[in-house]
Amino acid sequence: MLAQTVTDNTILEVKNLKTYYPIYGGFLGRAISKVKAVDDVTFSVKKGETFSIVGESGCGKSTTGMSLIQLVTPTSGEILFNGENIFGKDKRKLKKVRRNIQIIFQDPFSSLNPKMTVKKIIAEPLVINRIASGQELEDRVVELLEMVGLGAHHLYRYPHEFSGGQRQRLGIARALALNPEIIICDEPVSALDVSVQSQVLNLMQELQEKLNLTFIFISHDLSVVGHISDHVAVMYLGRIIEMGTREEIYQNPQHPYTKSLMSSIPLPDPKAKFTKKRIVLEGDVPSPENPPTGCHFHPRCPYRTDKCKEVYPEFMKVTPNHSVACHLVESGQLA
């Protein structure tokens, strides 16, 4: 069940997406098990909005993003871009799709080729897709640099000559080169200083408004997500457990896991520590190779019941724009 109502404004629909990684072992090196990195994920994204995916490290949020653009191959499901299923396309057709769906990577240094100049890095997608050459190509690269706050004097420099924030601006410029409709932002500011984070986030929001971009924003930083998002999906062990508008998720979290995440957001007021109760979860995140039966969160949930241990909860709507997968919410025990 989708947390948002699918309308004509929907640019991306993901249905029952699964991405499993086989584990090989034994004498013959056969697949003996599998890691369920993404397990039956469904959501929709409207054109021009920022849809964020949050959760702890290892919950599957980055794999979800890379599965959408098929940098990793999904196991099954549907990925509908403007109504067309792009899952399983051959390389030629997938190349056309990727012109409209680009990605910004987490590490602004390792994602840039250290042996290439700025001009070559940003021009590469234009050259590969045979969009521009010669002076037209250079003019387009300069235009992209200026859009992200850099300039023509940076054309022949190498990535190591830039700061972390500047390198991420180069990554943004490269992602914009083909005029995409969707940009997947995989922890784009997590490797940056806090002051630089705000500069890059403000730049992204300005570009989104100017170019009518749609962002799928992946992060573990709830403060950043609360600043930039329109809709938020919370993931745990490969599954979305709660989804809704930013206001619904941040002001009225329903799932015990979401509540614990929200309680961990630091407040700038030093007196707030006396009024805000921190919810500390017991235990560690289970292995996605062997997830618990029933609700995957039940081993760490302080409210678990026998039903939680046996049956995985259905995704139910709390309000028209807010859905959650929790037996206790369904029965009204956490109201």
Asked if residue 260 belongs to a domain, the reply is: yes
Asked if residue 150 belongs to a domain, the reply is: no
Q: Residue 216: give the domain boundaries.
A: 10-115+158-330
**What pTM was computed for the model?**
0.91
Asked if residue 125 belongs to a domain, the reply is: no
CA torsion sign for 265, 317, 281, 296 is negative
For residue 57, give the CATH number of its domain. Answer: 3.40.50.300
Q: How many domains does the chain have?
A: 1
Backbone angles phi, psi at 92, to 5 degrees: -65, -45
Asked if residue 140 belongs to a domain, the reply is: no
> Tens of pLDDT along the chain (335 residues)?
344 444 569 999 999 999 999 998 877 788 888 999 999 999 999 999 999 999 988 899 999 999 999 999 999 999 999 999 999 888 888 888 999 999 999 888 889 999 999 999 999 999 999 999 899 999 999 999 999 999 999 999 999 999 999 999 999 999 999 999 999 999 999 888 888 999 999 999 999 999 999 999 999 989 899 999 999 999 999 999 999 999 999 999 999 999 999 988 777 666 655 556 777 788 788 888 888 999 999 999 989 999 999 999 999 999 999 999 999 888 776 65
For residue 298, the 8-state DSSP code is G
CA torsion sign for 76, 184, 51, 246 is positive
Asked if residue 306 belongs to a domain, the reply is: yes
Asked if residue 42 belongs to a domain, the reply is: yes
Asked if residue 281 belongs to a domain, the reply is: yes
